[in-house]
Amino acid sequence: MQDMKDEVVLVTGAASGIGAAVARGAAERGAAVAVFDRDPAALDSVAGSLADAGLDVAAVAGDVRSPDDARRAVEAVRDRWGPPDHLVNAAGIMRPGPARDLSEADWDESLDVNAKGVFVMSRAVVGDMVARSRGSIVTVASNAAGTARAGMAAYAASKAAAEMFTKCLGLEVAGHGVRCNVVAPGSTDTPMLRALWRASGADPRGTLDGTPEAYRVGIPLRRIASPDDIADSVLFLLSDRAAHITMHTLTVDGGATLGT
């Protein structure tokens, strides 16, 4: 499959989970892929694995919250392959806990990484896209952005901000041929979800069945998503097959939010 041949993709949060799956999927489709993350060791491991498979990849360590790191990443991509054709905002953190007990540090970091990071990285790439009248951005948000979740106020609020920023940007640049979309995953088998299970004492069965006392339904399709499930949706929205889709949120949660 070479439907992204000669295209350049920058993926944040690419050291693990959904970001790593998107990077691999894009590279396997023929794209040149820059993987960006603040965990240099894990990032080098992902990049090394892709390079060993004969795929065209480069690792750039940095923090999505830093405009300097964002500019440096885009410059590294431009110097190697040319300007990015696509950006995937997959970096994210979760700081769970009741809203009334959240620390300011947890709140601030959630908004910084999950929302400001999307702003910083999108701003760094969109100028080139507008100048060339082509390009696409996909932000990985969450189904929690549109559905209240107990114990997830900071995460849900930050993802809602990222989602709406992406759509507003999409409106502003649509006339230049640049598309901006959102993928909203539900429970996905990533290090983040496994850490949440450990912290809360939950398990896959509870996620599938739901938690009535927390007003949370389960997953009608009766399976936890894999990172590849989410990556496939991201890659579709990047592709020419989605050429007439912009400012859209594609929810990929096995029915956990009941189609809302």
User: In sequence order, what E strands does 85-134 have?
Assistant: 86-89
State the Cα–Cα distance between residues 203 and 259, nearest whole angstrom.
24
- Kindly give the interhelix angle for 117-132 and 67-80, rounded to the nearest 10 degrees: 40
User: Per the residue annotation, which of 36, 81, 119, 155 is the catalytic one?
Assistant: 155
Specify whether 155 is catalytic.
yes
The residue among 208, 223, 119 whose CA lies nearest residue 162 is 119
Q: Within 183-253, where are the H helices?
A: 191-200, 204-209, 227-238
Cα–Cα distance measured from residue 204 to residue 191, given in angstroms and rounded to the nearest whole number: 13
Helix, coil or strand: residue 148: coil
Residue 67, phi then psi, degrees to nearest 5: -60, -35
Closest CA to 90 of 141, 147, 146, 164: 141
Q: Which residues are catalytic?
A: 155
